[in-house]
Amino acid sequence: MATFNCIIIDDDEIDRLTVLSFAKKFPVLNILGAFESAERAFSTIEKEKIDILFLDIDMPGLTGMELRQKALEIPVCVFITAHPEHAVESFELDTLDFIVKPVKLERFSQTMKRIEEFMEIKLKSQLFESSIGGNTIYIKEGHTQTKVKLHDILYLEALKDYTLVVTNQKRHCVLSTIGALLKETHFQSFVRIHRSYAVQKQYIQKIGSQEIELKNNVSIPVGRSYKDSLAFLL
């Protein structure tokens, strides 16, 4: 079983110990330390290969946001905070998940499932294949190719060098950045609304100040720098 190096940073001792106790329940996590400040974590970040950050946002000195900006090479960042208003801003920093305190084991387990999915995708390097016809793409998954109709795709989600192609039925992964995919002629019906998300224009049902709603009640965050992309609907 593959294991992933992680560190936990939170200035609140109870919250830090809670996350630590939850993390110990998952054998895939190799916990290299639990720190009360970003500054104390730096020596470990510089010396070790870190795969996962479990990171508070509001801390004395260097904030969680500022630390993440200095450590973007770490593949997975999960923010854990008592301030949900930071959610949209956090996803501008390659955030895989955002947990609002108090942390519950069930919610932490959901995050772990997403982390394991992301790491599996990263290891397998599933490939994007050229499309055949104007409305179909083929996605290579292992030794098979899956046919996906473009009009079935709800949105695209960036995961570093990969992109999730999300339909109502399944989440596929392609080895291509979201920016590169959106330059393909097949994806001209998509609009970028966030550093990590692009959606099908015709599936947008509602536009809010911080998120949009697609069909089937799917909500996607809107990045501040991408709001102009939605002007055509207003």
Domains of the chain: 4-123 (3.40.50.2300), 127-233 (2.40.50.1020)
Model pLDDT, residue 86: 67
Q: d(Cα 191, Cα 229) in Å, to the nearest integer?
A: 7
One-character DSSP codes across 133-160: SSSEEEEEETTEEEEEEGGGEEEEEEET
Count of Cβ atoms closer than 10 Å to residue 1 Cβ: 4
pTM, 2 dp = 0.56
77 or 95, which is more confident: 77
Mean per-residue pLDDT, 6-34:
96
Amino acid at 199: V
Task: Summarize the confidence of residues 27-35 as an average pLDDT.
Answer: 96
| Residue 123 confidence (pLDDT) | 63
pLDDT band per the 50, 70, 90 thresholds, residue 87: low
List, for residues 103-129, the tens digit of each pLDDT value.
999 999 999 999 998 887 766 543 344
Tokens found for residue 193: 């609304």
32, 7 contact by CB (below 8 A): yes
The letter for the amino acid at 52 is I
Q: Is the pLDDT of residue 144 over 50?
A: yes
Cis peptide bond prior to 102, omega within 30° of 0: yes
Q: What is the mean pLDDT of the chain?
A: 84
Task: Classify 102 as helix, strand or coil.
Answer: coil
